[in-house]
Chains A and B, each alone.
Chain A
């Protein structure tokens, strides 16, 4: 009993050390700058090859987790089942370049003067280090996002059709299932927080909620992408909310930022920066909350499954699977909760900015 606990602890410790050491390595690498990128890449390639060889014998849980939660230029459903995705690159000298990511499947992961570097996340780096290249590839996350967009359009297209065809009749089937959620978002989230002018923002809020929800749920499927656990995605959503808030905010809101009422003049040098930081903290908290929740959920699930491979024991598998099942149920709940919270907070921010007799919300 004790020995097994000790074993688990030592494994966990090893995993922590690995993750942190790889982080440190990543950090150091930035300090080197651009000089000798090629040499570094070669070195990395070598290290990766070495790693791969070692992996034959030793399972590296940190690498496995990072590989699964970060973006990729191909969609690996299972080991060996890989869907190559289009790579789209833009550089000032060569213009737009489009090719399949399967071209990188060679000895040096090199094609057409580009290197595919496998680190914590994949990166396409030009071999000629003086060039700068912008990567607009359809990565695994983009593909998954497109899939979710198609799913959303199909679902709500059919629901909208049901509303058009059954005008004045009671809702039926899938239509009534979706109606419950739409009504919940409208009546419990958007209407009470935004106020009487809610209808203008309702389409955005509904899209926001269902986009996050579908991506959260898709992300739980085996082999799926971690879209809402990607900081770029949550950042875009948060920035959109930020823009909507500040395009629609009334003069009370802006006045409150620079001339808060009931604050002594002596405190203004402190209060104004605090207010301004608060403005940016709101979208920042939105971004981090969703990202951290989804990524953490994925890391927990992957760590659980990783334990099976660490113990290399068939007896532990059912226990871990049961626990993973439990975690999956919690993750489904989290998928709904996070979509709900993002929408709720977005409507609260908008509501406090367009409110008539102000006193903006200080909540975070």
Chain B
């Protein structure tokens, strides 16, 4: 049957054309195409690798940052605590000192007051003596003239002397 008998001419041309096609396409088409595809795949792979590497580096960096932050926080807390302690201490010291100082002042004031009092009392004693002397002098002087007026004068003098 003609349909199932291969024709010699067609076999020949088919072989020639197909082999030529294989060689032409291999050199001018498949080589650059497959090469380009491979190169691109390689590039994509390396880009992916780089991304992976960068991500792990980022993770490491983040961990470092967190550690640093924690350390900084701890340092800050410590410093604040120390400062507070110091200020507390200073306040307490100052208070103590102030109390001491106050007591000293009060003490000295009390002493001064006492001294003044003594001075005033001694002075008053002198004054009272002087006054009594004066009164006695006056009384003595009046006694000589009028008894009634003498009594009156004594009462007068006594009332005025009471104030001192």
Contact = CB atoms under 8 A, between A and B. Distances in A.
Give the interface centre of B8, B15, B29, B30 by most chain A CB atoms within 10 Å. Answer: B29
A168 B33 contact: no
B144 interface: no
A163 B11 contact: no
Interface in B97-153: none
A231 B21 contact: no
Contacts of B31: 160, 203
B40 interface: yes
Interface residues of B, number: 37
Contact of A120 (B2, B14, B22, B37): B2
A125 interface: no
Contacts, number: 132
Nearest to A161: B32
Contact of B26 (A23, A26, A168, A203): A203
B3 A295 contact: yes
Given A136-B9, A236-B11, A164 B32 contact: yes
Main SS of chain A's interface residues?
A: helix
A232 B11 contact: yes
Contact of B33 (A66, A119, A163, A232): A163
Interface residues of A, number: 53
B10 A230 contact: yes
Nearest to B27: A203
A232 B3 contact: no
B145 to A, nearest CB: 146
Contact of A153 (B9, B25, B39): B25
A116 to B, nearest CB: 14
Nearest to B22: A207
A88 B9 CA distance: 9
Interface of A: 23, 26-27, 66, 69-71, 88, 119-121, 123, 134-139, 141-142, 145-146, 149, 152-153, 156-157, 159-160, 163-164, 167-168, 179, 182-183, 186, 199, 202-204, 206-207, 211, 230-233, 235-237, 240, 295
29 contacts: A26-B1, A121-B3, A134-B8, A136-B8, A136-B12, A137-B9, A138-B13, A141-B10, A146-B17, A152-B25, A153-B21, A153-B25, A156-B29, A156-B30, A156-B33, A157-B29, A160-B28, A199-B34, A203-B34, A204-B22, A204-B26, A207-B22, A231-B4, A231-B6, A232-B7, A236-B11, A236-B14, A236-B15, A236-B18
Given A142-B13, A156-B28, 15 more contacts: A66-B3, A70-B2, A134-B9, A142-B9, A142-B14, A153-B21, A153-B25, A153-B29, A156-B25, A160-B31, A182-B34, A202-B30, A204-B26, A207-B18, A236-B14
